[in-house]
Structure 1
Amino acid sequence: MSEIHYFPRYSQKENMVTNNTLLLFSRLYQNNPKKFTLFINSVLDDDKKQLNTTVKFSQQEKSRSGRVADGMISQDSFKVVIETKLYGQEHIDQVIGHWNSFENEDNQVFLWINKEPITNDYYNQIINELNDYNNKNGTNIKFASTTFKEICYAFKDVLQEYDLEMTTLIEDYENFCNETGLIDNNENRVRVVLTGKTFAENMKYKLYFHPKNRGYQNAKYIGLYQDKAIRAIGEVSGIVDLQYDESNDDFIYYKDVKGKSTQEIKNQIKDITKESKTKHGYPAEEDRRFFIVEEYHQTEYKKTSHGGLPGVRYIDLLEVNGYEEDMRAMEIADLLKGKEWDVL
């Protein structure tokens, strides 16, 4: 007998994904408006002004005319316009067009949902356009962005053990997201990189770099590989694209792709650039992508297959015995120590 699903799976089109997401929101509101309010404010992540989606019952309320009504049922006016994206498209003109959907609501929010977190560049582009739109039209539209994975987390956070129907609902929605590729496994992946020559410098400066034009898939962790084993694990806290000008000891350009660089990080990038040229002959002025970690934690995750590592590899931590998703990088390093893996 086939399993019954709350959410249809007949297509991967954006309108079907949007319909399923709205169905999820609607079912929670119908089940418990107060929990829906907690959930939607968690998704919108706006601490300045929280949406109140519940109906309010009151008595002896004075109107503007001074008359006192015996009772009143009211609800705040709000509208959340949702744009879902399956493939990371960034079309600012399309986004601006959605803002005309707002009318005279007291609270107006444009919610952008994607597979991956929004990039710094696109976020700033939307905010700049939105500020200009608000100024020209006398509106006060707010912007929020989230991912399908974050929606699942936020939904689960408002549930209790006895919310059996809603628990079944979110489990099916999460399965739908996984089956249709809306949730990736980046949070549980280690990007294993070769650091035969620069291992000491990577550890010292808490960085890893490669040419900017080299391919890259998102992963939460970096694993430094040397001598047939992953020797250190670090959680990626920032990514920077840059080109260094050796003659002026400055950057020709410097762009934060993820996170925001401090002056200390910029100094470390300069230092490792100079040191890697002096010690290993790496060119100082090539276009590079730098990965910043808070700390590298030493480990020894041995590769059992013959030969060296043939380029970058990704490890799925969910396949490692003993791994739990709330582990920190230091705990992951301890877990991997003494274990073995193979390159297929």
Structure 2
Amino acid sequence: MRISQFQKYSQRENTVTNNVLLMLSRLNDLNVAYYKSMIERLNEGSLQQSYYPQPIFTQQLGVKNGIIDGHIEIKPSKIVVETKLNTKEVIGKLIKYGEAFNVYSHNQLWHLSSVKFEEKEEIEINRRLKESYPNLKIQFNNLLFNDLIENLEGIFEENTHDMELRLLLEDFSNYCISSNLISNEEYKLLFVPTGFSFNWNMRHKMYYCPIHWHSQKFKFFGLYNWKSVRSISEIETVIEADYDFDNDNLKVYSKGHTTEQVQRLHNGLRELEENHEGLKYYVLPENNFYETDFRKTSHGGIQGYRYKDLRDFITLNDYNDVELIANELRKVNWK
């Protein structure tokens, strides 16, 4: 058994904080661009200033009295992380952490936990930060451990060649799961961007991706397109297979699928008219599959897949009625 990069023997807050910082440090060691991407993703485009975790090299820089031939600038930044396990920090105590920041720094205050502040609490925190530190610009981030994992997964999506990054993702995900730092899977929705394949995904009710993607457990699955989750269902089965279009040959490696499920996959892949290797296919139910409109209201689209806890958006007595969930999601949105 390979040794994990993250300690799993304690759930105390200082151990959790240490492992979060270790993950970020390792990410930076692998590639500073990965670390920069993580910070920007966690802010979802709401950064008050551009984030630069490394020196900026420029030449022929124009200034008031001439042109500088060479210029190297390191912009100061500071991130303060307050970690809780399954609770929220007292707001008054959180506000006091603003004393750690200064005027010329890029300041971010993170609250990291398994539960988030409600929107009205987040508004209050931002208001009190401005009132208490009128000369400072402080970016408050209301984060879940899920947010760290899903954005780390998104970075790996774009750099699947990097095996060290893959190991970091696997170890950190497994640590958070085994330490009960992430939401219960029975309420969890995974949704994926589809782009040009959206019509095919909806028509055949299936989705494909590399086998190693989506390490977290989840119950519900959605197809995302044009800044909205357009469908929701459960997963009927997951098939690992290669498809040789030239010979119309589907080679299935996984087990436990019906002949009908395999044939559905074969028919769908034949329509795509291309070879596929090293992929898994989420086959969705033909009937218990519902269109919805769960909209993203913040700026920009999503870089990769997302996990959301449905309890953060809708309140139901029973989360087993997928059609009801689809209807309720039409009434709410997310950022």
Name the TM tier (shorter chain).
0.5 to 0.7
Aligned residue for 1:90?
Answer: 89
Distance 2:4 2:152 in 1: 18
Aligned residue for 1:54?
Answer: 54
Aligned residue for 1:146?
Answer: 143
Secondary structure of residue in 2 paired with 1:297:
helix
Compared with structure 1, are the counterparts of its residues 40 and 189 closer, same or farther at alpha carbon in structure 2 (3 Å cutoff)?
closer
2:323 is the counterpart of 1:297: yes
Compared with structure 1, are the counterparts of its residues 259 and 188 closer, same or farther at alpha carbon in structure 2 (3 Å cutoff)?
closer
Aligned residue for 1:3?
Answer: 2
Residue 258 (structure 1) shift = 5.4
The one-letter code matched in structure 2 to 1:158 is I
| Contact in 2 for aligned 1:34/1:54 (Cα 8 Å) | no
Distance 2:142 2:220 in 1: 19
2:124 is the counterpart of 1:125: yes
Compared with structure 1, are the counterparts of its residues 164 and 110 closer, same or farther at alpha carbon in structure 2 (3 Å cutoff)?
same
| Contact in 2 for aligned 1:41/1:51 (Cα 8 Å) | yes
Secondary structure of residue in 1 paired with 2:133:
helix
Q: TM-score, normalised by structure 2?
A: 0.54
Unaligned runs of 5+ in 2: 190-218, 222-232, 234-287, 295-310, 328-335
Distance 2:154 2:188 in 1: 24
| Contact in 1 for aligned 2:98/2:133 (Cα 8 Å) | no
Residue 69 (structure 1) shift = 4.0
| Contact in 1 for aligned 2:13/2:84 (Cα 8 Å) | yes
Distance 1:105 1:291 in 2: 49
| Contact in 2 for aligned 1:81/1:109 (Cα 8 Å) | yes
Residue 48 (structure 1) shift = 5.1
For residues 97-123 of structure 1, give each alpha carbon's deviation from its aligned partner in whole angstroms, at most 9, with x where no partner exists. Answer: 211111233421111111133322432
* TM alignment of 1:264-275, pairs within 5 A: none
Aligned residue for 2:19?
Answer: 20
Q: TM-score, normalised by structure 1?
A: 0.53
For residues 111-158 of structure 1, give each alpha carbon's deviation from its aligned partner in whole angstroms, at most 9, with x where no partner exists. Answer: 1111133322432331221121233xx111121111111111101211
Distance 1:98 1:55 in 2: 27
| Contact in 2 for aligned 1:55/1:73 (Cα 8 Å) | yes
Residue 91 (structure 1) shift = 0.6
Compared with structure 1, are the counterparts of its residues 33 and 100 closer, same or farther at alpha carbon in structure 2 (3 Å cutoff)?
same
The one-letter code matched in structure 1 to 2:154 is D
* TM alignment of 1:170-209, pairs within 5 A: 170-186=169-185, 188=187
The one-letter code matched in structure 2 to 1:174 is S
For residues 213-237 of structure 1, give each alpha carbon's deviation from its aligned partner in whole angstroms, at most 9, with x where no partner exists. Answer: xxxxxx989x9xxxxxxxx9999x8
Aligned residue for 2:76?
Answer: 77
Compared with structure 1, are the counterparts of its residues 187 and 123 closer, same or farther at alpha carbon in structure 2 (3 Å cutoff)?
farther
2:106 is the counterpart of 1:102: no
Aligned residue for 2:330?
Answer: none
Residue 174 (structure 1) shift = 0.8
For residues 50-109 of structure 1, give each alpha carbon's deviation from its aligned partner in whole angstroms, at most 9, with x where no partner exists. Answer: 422232112233456x36443222222221111111021331122012111112334211
Residue 173 (structure 1) shift = 0.7
The one-letter code matched in structure 1 to 2:108 is V
For residues 324-344 of structure 1, give each alpha carbon's deviation from its aligned partner in whole angstroms, at most 9, with x where no partner exists. Answer: xxxx959xxxxxxxxxxxxxx
Distance 1:162 1:93 in 2: 45
The one-letter code matched in structure 1 to 2:167 is T
Residue 166 (structure 1) shift = 1.0
Compared with structure 1, are the counterparts of its residues 189 and 59 closer, same or farther at alpha carbon in structure 2 (3 Å cutoff)?
closer
Unaligned runs of 5+ in 1: 191-218, 224-231, 238-256, 261-288, 299-327, 331-344
Distance 2:63 2:318 in 1: 58
Residue 259 (structure 1) shift = 5.2
Larger Rg: 1
Distance 1:292 1:179 in 2: 26
RMSD: 3.8
Secondary structure of residue in 1 paired with 2:27:
helix
Aligned residue for 1:199?
Answer: none
Compared with structure 1, are the counterparts of its residues 329 and 170 closer, same or farther at alpha carbon in structure 2 (3 Å cutoff)?
same
Aligned residue for 1:203?
Answer: none
The one-letter code matched in structure 2 to 1:55 is P
Distance 1:8 1:51 in 2: 30
The one-letter code matched in structure 2 to 1:74 is E
| Contact in 2 for aligned 1:127/1:143 (Cα 8 Å) | yes
